[in-house]
């Protein structure tokens, strides 16, 4: 089932009653989520991504705009009629029911012609439990399980009624680092196995990048960019997206375009042939892996330290044009660095350098 | 799934929501009326004249000529002011004494170390299960033998301790970090200064709760005062009301009776309206009725 | 050593008062109840035995009181808990006027039981001047004229139960609304997404989650109703035996001091019987709750 959002807007009255102006949690969303894909809604906390999720599942009503499931307008449909499964951040497992009863709960709600027999229910519960691999835990209560296990139960409960759309609110944020890695692979596997259109909300870019088919980046209620993970990483439309994706963060310098060259400070670092005549103040953003240690390189930086990570090495350096604390460059560990007078010189890989307008912070294509 | 079917579901959901909220408010209003009506009726009856009240075979729901005469009668024909004063003294003294007893006991259990603390505390807790009805008989005999019937002392003494409030306050005291006590000790603060300057101010919400609950209890107490007093000079309002009902105002002067009832109800209702959030939170935490 | 002294000094008032007015009476009441023919004036008795209990159990007034008390308990505890639950549920799901309703519903808690009881008596009583408002209302719908205060037993019992419920509702509504407020709303959202019917949400989610509080109310409700007394006095006056509306506690007080005047032995026996009943019922309640209540 594809999901289409048309001019979707949600405004809340400001919590601070003195301010009359409404808070716009979701501002004019227009996009289409293709059938059978795994979509990550990514943004910093408070950007409206959870509101967007609540709008899709129907727990909240949009102020303006429409939501379509397939070709059907579901904007005003109550959540129970939308056929969605939702996994809550804290799982919302009923503490007084066993795992089996929790998973069976949605099935028992079916009435009339959809009513299921006990045997069919049990079969479906087992099937869902098998899918998330918790068959042996069926008789436990939520309080007797680890966070990861509870998470699986929550997913099984959301999937057991075969929803057309599966929604997950920060599915991994309550798990420890090791479990997070394991669970996100699991999520991907379950999504592939079931083929259900899945939307999940997260503030962790790594999480979004690693499993999403498509990422939607949001900031203060406004959609910034939508695309495949690699595409968003490589071709961010603005400085915010560029900075939000990737660890370590992209390195941002003050710079300018002049005489067909891109300058960081006063050093020309790469050519910009289309900008022969005009002069422009810009931000030059370089991915950590975009630096090459080069004795003859144009970018000269103060050397501070190196951090050995095994597979590769982080070079920590400074430059007067750099915005923020220190430059972090990642180079393969077999490359050697010989700082001369505490100075290290870099040349840049052009396809790892992105230029943004200083005023609008929008991407400038060279 | 199609659009027409969805439209139907949407409308059905809308209608059901409207009906639900209508029925909901109907029930809430109904109960509010049931609660408020006796209050309305007592105020209404208290401002009707004696003759108009008695001439209404079918009572009127309003009056066009309200009078305050009944309030004058209530204060002059029976010693209502005296009942009031008694209740006031009883409430203030009982609450005050109880707070002293409770605070010191809670302090001892919460902060001081002494031999046998655990045993004494569990003995205290087990006393919480003893119903008042069981001990009131002997207390009646004790007070009678001490020749304290028809005295304030006799009224007050049996109700100046409460195991439950000691327990409530002790729990609250224990939440105050131990470090504060140690810091105070290092500074050479005495135990009692620490209690007075640190623990009581920090636990003020709980103390206020206990005071409020005790005041309500005192103001409405009936059984013990009834047993221990038969001299009108020592009647509390509850006993006064009962006396008025049975002997006062020539029995049938309902408006004057209602005026007395209004006067008796007003202090607590006013207190409640001012502190209602505090009172309700307090009762939710530690109150019971009956 | 000094520390011990301070502690005991702090505890002294509490221990003294509890000793005199709780512990000693507890022993004393047992002694009284077995002292046959105890005389208040001479402080003497014939012999020890179970005669006091036997007397009380054969006293028609006690039997009447027992019957009244049980009827009040059986009617008011389930009804008040049920209605309170209904009202609390509705109250929890409205926003407009919620604070107002909450305040109004709590009013009876802070009013003098005796005082408001008098108003109820006026509303229900038939006098030479008027049939009483409630009776008139019944007649308006074609019913008979009923005196609820001095009339037939069922009518008196009706007012009794009605007033008792009116009095205990504020506490129950308050406790239940705060219990309902403590249920995490995410469970309701989860249930809604799963298309759970309203009644099922209540039965399967809300009720189990607030069940500890409901049981607390049931247990305290039983205890409170068994000790019913001042509500009865408020409606029917101090001579409850004459009205046929006495309760066990009323019987205890009447035996102690009142119209029958000064039989502490009988009073003690009756009080201990009451304690035995309440203790048994509470134990049964706790056993049932262990099986049905969900504790987090």
CA C166, distance to chain mean position in Å, is: 12
Per the domain annotation, does A139 fall within a domain? yes
Rounded CA separation A222/A41 (Å): 12
The enclosing H or E element of A355 equals: strand A353-357
Rounded CA separation A246/A42 (Å): 13
User: Each residue of A219-235: pLDDT tens digit?
Assistant: 988 999 999 999 999 99
Per the domain annotation, does A7 fall within a domain? yes
**Which of C182, C193, C295 to mutate: most A Cβ within 10 Å?**
C193
Residue A69: its chain B contacts at CB < 8 A? 1
Domain termination site, one of A193, A214, A238 = A238
Fold of B71-286: MetI-like fold (1.10.3720)
Q: What is the CATH number of the domain that holds A135?
A: 3.40.50.300
DSSP-derived secondary structure for A62-119: -SEEEEEETTEE-TTS-GGGTTEEEE-TTTT--TTS-HHHHHHHHHHT--GGG---HH
Structure tokens belonging to residue B121: 């505390």
Q: Domain range holding A305?
A: 251-364
In total, the C-beta contacts within 8 angstroms joining chain A to chain B are 20
Question: Cβ C25–B135 below 8 Å, yes or no?
Answer: yes
Rounded CA separation A92/A315 (Å): 45
The larger pLDDT score, comparing residue A38 to residue B283, is at A38
- Residue C257 in contact with partner chain A when CB distance is under 8 A: no
Question: Cβ B6–A81 below 8 Å, yes or no?
Answer: yes
- Residue B10 in contact with partner chain A when CB distance is under 8 A: yes
How high is the pLDDT of residue B250? 58
Could you give the 3-state DSSP secondary structure of residue B236? coil
Do A259 and A158 fall within a single domain? no
Residue of C nearest to A163 (CA): C194
Residue of C nearest to A159 (CA): C194
Could you give the 3-state DSSP secondary structure of residue A282? strand
How high is the pLDDT of residue B289? 43
Do A54 and A140 fall within a single domain? yes
DSSP-derived secondary structure for B121-138: HHHHHHHTTS-HHHHHHH
In total, the C-beta contacts within 8 angstroms joining chain A to chain C are 58
With contact defined as beta carbons under 8 Å apart, do A275 and A366 qualify? Answer: yes
Rounded CA separation B170/B111 (Å): 9
Do A193 and A266 fall within a single domain? no
Structure tokens belonging to residue B47: 């401002």
Question: Cβ A77–B3 below 8 Å, yes or no?
Answer: no
Residue of C nearest to A109 (CA): C196
- Residue A70 in contact with partner chain B when CB distance is under 8 A: yes
How distant is the Cα of A80 from the closest Cα of chain C, in angstroms?
4
Chain A stretch 120-159, residues whose beta carbon is closer than 8 A to a beta carbon of chain C: 143, 157
Give pLDDT tens digits along chain B (290 positions).
Answer: 567 777 888 888 888 888 988 999 999 999 999 999 999 999 998 998 888 887 777 777 888 788 888 898 888 888 889 999 999 999 999 999 999 999 999 999 998 888 888 899 988 888 887 778 888 888 888 888 888 889 999 999 998 988 889 988 998 898 888 888 888 888 888 888 888 888 999 998 889 889 988 998 898 888 889 888 888 888 988 888 888 887 766 556 888 888 988 998 888 899 899 888 888 888 887 655 43
Rounded CA separation A238/A223 (Å): 12
Domain residue ranges of chain B, discontinuous segments joined by +: 2-69, 71-286
Question: Cβ C294–A95 below 8 Å, yes or no?
Answer: yes
Domain termination site, one of A238, A266, A285 = A238
How high is the pLDDT of residue C74? 95
- Residue A76 in contact with partner chain B when CB distance is under 8 A: yes
> Which of B70, B265, B45 is CA-nearest to residue C115?
B265
Rounded CA separation A54/A8 (Å): 12
With contact defined as beta carbons under 8 Å apart, do C257 and C268 qualify? Answer: no
Residue A143: its chain C contacts at CB < 8 A? 296
A187, A189, A194, A197: CA torsion to nearest 10: 50
C228, C231, C236, C241: CA torsion to nearest 10: 20
Strand order of the β-sheet with A312-318 is A291-293, A343-348, A299-308, A312-318, A327-332
**pLDDT, average across residues C115-140:** 84
Report the sign of the C-alpha dihedral through residues C20, C26, C29, C35, in that order. negative
**Which of A67, A76, A82, A114 to mutate: most B Cβ within 10 Å?**
A76
Do A266 and A232 fall within a single domain? no
Rounded CA separation B133/B144 (Å): 17
DSSP-derived secondary structure for A21-52: SPEEEEEEEEEEE-TT-EEEEE--TTSSHHHH
Per the domain annotation, does A140 fall within a domain? yes
**Which of C192, C194, C214 to mutate: most A Cβ within 10 Å?**
C194
Do A233 and A265 fall within a single domain? no
Per the domain annotation, does A245 fall within a domain? no
How high is the pLDDT of residue A265? 85
**Chain B neighbours, 3+ Cβ pairs < 8 A:** A, C
- Residue B1 in contact with partner chain A when CB distance is under 8 A: yes
- Is the link from the previous residue into A248 a cis peptide, with omega within 30 of 0? yes
- Of A183-192, A350-359, C102-111, C251-260, the range with the lowest mean pLDDT is C251-260
Residue B2: its chain A contacts at CB < 8 A? 72
Rounded CA separation A94/A134 (Å): 17
Q: What is the DSSP letter of A250?
A: P
Residue A78: its chain B contacts at CB < 8 A? 9-10, 13
Average pLDDT score, chain C: 87
- Residue C276 in contact with partner chain B when CB distance is under 8 A: no
pTM of the model: 0.84
Question: Cβ B242–C233 below 8 Å, yes or no?
Answer: yes
Question: Cβ C115–B246 below 8 Å, yes or no?
Answer: no
Do A131 and A75 fall within a single domain? yes
**Which of C1, C2, C7 to mutate: most B Cβ within 10 Å?**
C7
Question: Cβ C227–B131 below 8 Å, yes or no?
Answer: yes
| Residue A314 backbone dihedrals phi, psi, to 5 degrees | -95, 130
Residue of B nearest to A83 (CA): B1
Question: Cβ C4–B288 below 8 Å, yes or no?
Answer: no
Question: Cβ B3–A72 below 8 Å, yes or no?
Answer: yes
Cβ-based burial of B104 (10 A; exposed 0-12, middle 13-18, buried ≥19): buried
How distant is the Cα of C213 from the closest Cα of chain B, in angstroms?
11
Query: Is C43 a residue whose pLDDT tops 70?
Result: no
Residue C215: its chain A contacts at CB < 8 A? none
Structure tokens belonging to residue A143: 């309080």
Tell me the CA distances in angstroms from A181 to A133, A162, A188, one per residue in order.
16, 26, 11
Give the strand pairing for A363-364 and A222-227. Answer: unpaired
How high is the pLDDT of residue C44? 63
Could you give the 3-state DSSP secondary structure of residue A273? coil
Domain termination site, one of A207, A238, A269 = A238
- Residue B134 in contact with partner chain A when CB distance is under 8 A: no
With contact defined as beta carbons under 8 Å apart, do A90 and A174 qualify? Answer: yes
Question: Cβ C237–B245 below 8 Å, yes or no?
Answer: yes
Average pLDDT score, chain A: 89
> Which pLDDT band holds residue A286 (cuts at 50, 70, 90)?
very high
Do A339 and A303 fall within a single domain? yes
Residue B163: its chain C contacts at CB < 8 A? 18
Of B35, B112, B261, the CB nearest to C10: B112
DSSP-derived secondary structure for A295-344: TT-SEEEEEEEEEE-SSEEEEEEE-TTBSSS-EEEEEETTS----BTTEE
Residue of A nearest to C199 (CA): A109
- Of A268-272, A357-361, C16-20, the range with the lowest mean pLDDT is A268-272
Structural domains counted in chain A: 2
Of C194, C208, C296, the CB nearest to A106: C194
> Which of B130, B204, B209, B195 is CA-nearest to residue B165?
B209
Query: Is C41 a residue whose pLDDT tops 80?
Result: no
Residue B95 pairs in a beta bridge with none
Per the domain annotation, does A22 fall within a domain? yes
How high is the pLDDT of residue B290? 36
How distant is the Cα of A164 from the closest Cα of chain B, in angstroms?
11
- Residue C194 in contact with partner chain A when CB distance is under 8 A: yes
């Amino acid at each position: 089932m594809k999901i289409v959002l048309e001019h979707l807007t949600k405004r809340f009255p400001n919590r601070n009653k003195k301010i009359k102006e409404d808070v716009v949690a979701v501002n004019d969303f227009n996009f289409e989520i293709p059938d059978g894909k795994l979509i990550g809604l990514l943004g910093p906390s408070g950007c409206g991504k959870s509101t967007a999720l609540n709008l899709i599942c129907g727990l909240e009503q949009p102020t303006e705009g429409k939501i379509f499931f397939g070709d059907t307008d579901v904007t005003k449909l109550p959540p129970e009629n939308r056929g969605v499964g939702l996994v809550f951040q804290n799982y919302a497992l009923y503490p007084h029911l066993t795992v089996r009863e929790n998973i069976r709960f949605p099935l028992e709600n079916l009435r009339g012609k959809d009513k299921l027999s006990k045997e069919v229910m049990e079969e479906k519960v087992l099937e869902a439990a098998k899918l998330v691999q918790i068959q042996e835990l069926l008789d436990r209560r939520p309080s007797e399980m680890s966070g990861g296990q509870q998470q699986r139960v929550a997913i099984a409960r959301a999937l057991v009624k075969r929803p057309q759309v599966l929604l997950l609110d920060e599915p991994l944020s309550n798990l420890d680092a090791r479990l997070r890695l394991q669970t996100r692979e699991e999520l991907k596997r379950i999504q592939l196995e079931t083929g259900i259109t899945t939307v999940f909300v997260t503030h962790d870019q790594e999480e979004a990048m690693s499993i999403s088919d498509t990422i939607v980046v949001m900031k203060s209620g406004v959609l910034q960019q939508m695309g495949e993970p690699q595409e968003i990483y490589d071709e961010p439309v603005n400085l915010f997206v560029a900075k939000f994706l990737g660890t370590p963060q992209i390195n941002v310098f003050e710079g300018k375009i002049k005489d067909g060259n891109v300058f960081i400070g006063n050093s020309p670092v790469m050519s910009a042939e289309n900008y022969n005549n005009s002069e422009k103040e810009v931000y030059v953003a370089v991915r950590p892996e975009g630096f090459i240690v080069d004795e003859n390189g144009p970018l000269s930086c103060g050397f501070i330290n190196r951090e050995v990570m095994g597979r590769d090495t982080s070079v920590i350096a400074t430059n007067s044009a750099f915005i923020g604390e220190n430059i972090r460059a990642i180079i393969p560990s077999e490359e050697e660095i010989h700082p001369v007078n505490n100075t290290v010189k870099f040349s840049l890989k052009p396809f790892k350098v992105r230029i943004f307008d200083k005023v609008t912070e929008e991407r400038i294509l060279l | 799934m199609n659009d027409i079917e969805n439209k139907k579901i949407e409308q059905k959901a809308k209608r059901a929501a409207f009906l639900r909220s209508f029925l909901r408010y109907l029930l809430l209003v109904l109960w509010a009326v049931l609660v408020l009506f006796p209050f309305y009726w007592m105020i209404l009856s208290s401002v009707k004249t004696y003759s108009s009240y008695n001439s209404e075979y079918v009572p009127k729901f309003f009056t066009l000529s309200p009078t305050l005469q009944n309030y004058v009668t209530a204060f002059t024909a029976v010693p209502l002011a005296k009942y009031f004063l008694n209740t006031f003294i009883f409430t203030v003294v009982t609450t005050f004494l109880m707070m002293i007893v409770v605070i010191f006991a809670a302090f001892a259990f919460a902060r001081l170390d002494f031999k046998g603390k655990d045993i004494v505390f569990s003995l205290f807790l087990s006393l919480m299960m003893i119903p008042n009805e069981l001990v009131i008989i002997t207390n009646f005999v004790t007070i009678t033998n001490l020749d304290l019937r028809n005295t304030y002392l006799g009224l007050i003494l049996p109700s100046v301790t409460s195991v439950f409030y000691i327990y409530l306050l002790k729990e609250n005291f224990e939440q105050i970090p131990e470090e504060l006590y140690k810091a105070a000790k290092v500074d050479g603060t005495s135990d009692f200064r620490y209690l007075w300057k640190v623990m009581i101010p920090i636990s003020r919400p709980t103390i206020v709760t206990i005071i409020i609950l005790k005041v309500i209890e005192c103001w409405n107490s009936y059984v013990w005062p009834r047993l221990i007093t038969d001299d009108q000079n020592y009647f509390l309002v509850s006993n006064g009301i009962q006396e008025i009902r049975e002997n006062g105002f020539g029995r049938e002067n309902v408006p004057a009776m209602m005026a007395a009832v209004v006067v008796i109800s007003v202090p607590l209702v006013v207190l409640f309206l001012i502190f209602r959030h505090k009172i309700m939170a307090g009762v939710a935490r530690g109150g019971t009725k009956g | 050593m000094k520390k011990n002294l301070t502690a005991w000094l702090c505890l002294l008032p509490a221990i003294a008062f509890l000793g005199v007015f709780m512990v000693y009476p507890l022993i004393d009441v047992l002694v009284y109840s077995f002292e046959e023919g105890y005389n208040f004036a001479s402080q003497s008795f014939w012999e020890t035995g179970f005669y006091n209990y036997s007397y009380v159990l054969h006293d028609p007034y006690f039997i009447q009181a027992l019957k009244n008390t049980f009827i009040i308990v059986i009617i008011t505890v389930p009804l008040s808990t049920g209605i309170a639950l209904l009202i609390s549920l509705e109250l929890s799901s409205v926003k407009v006027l919620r604070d107002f309703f909450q305040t109004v519903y709590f009013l009876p808690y802070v009013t003098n039981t005796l005082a408001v009881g008098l108003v109820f008596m006026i509303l229900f009583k038939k006098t030479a001047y008027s049939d009483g408002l409630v009776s008139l209302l019944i007649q308006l719908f074609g019913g008979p004229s009923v005196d609820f205060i001095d009339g037939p037993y069922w009518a008196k019992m009706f007012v009794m139960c009605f007033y008792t419920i009116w009095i205990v509702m504020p506490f129950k509504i308050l406790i239940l609304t705060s219990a309902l407020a403590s249920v995490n709303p995410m469970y309701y959202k989860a249930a809604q997404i799963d298309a759970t019917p309203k009644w099922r949400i209540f039965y399967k989610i809300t009720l189990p989650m607030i069940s500890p509080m409901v049981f607390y109310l049931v247990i305290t409700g039983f205890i409170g109703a068994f000790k019913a007394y001042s509500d009865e006095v408020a409606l029917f006056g101090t001579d409850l035996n004459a009205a046929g509306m006495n309760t066990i506690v009323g019987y205890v007080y009447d035996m102690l001091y009142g119209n029958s005047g000064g039989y502490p032995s009988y009073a003690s026996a009756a009080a201990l019987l009451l304690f035995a009943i309440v203790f048994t019922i509470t134990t049964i309640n706790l056993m049932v709750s262990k099986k049905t209540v969900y504790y987090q």
